[in-house]
Amino acid sequence: MKTMKIAFLFACSAFVLTMAACLESSTEPEIIIDYGASSYFYVNNQTDSDMQVTYNIAFIEMDSTVTVPADTTLKIFQAGDIGAPPKPSEALGKITVYQLLENQSSLFLTIDPVTDGDWIIVDEDLNEIDPESKNLYGEDGSARYKLTLSEGDTN
Q: 10 Å Cβ neighbour count for 41?
A: 24
Nearest to 150 by CA among 76, 95, 97: 97
* Topology of the domain comprising 37-153: Immunoglobulin-like (2.60.40)
pLDDT higher at 45 or 151: 45
pTM for the predicted model, two decimal places: 0.74
Domain ranges of the chain: 37-153
pLDDT, tens only, 62-105: 899 999 999 999 999 999 888 788 999 999 989 999 999 988 99
Pairing of strands 104-111, 92-101: antiparallel
CA atoms of 50 and 100, how far apart (whole Å)? 5
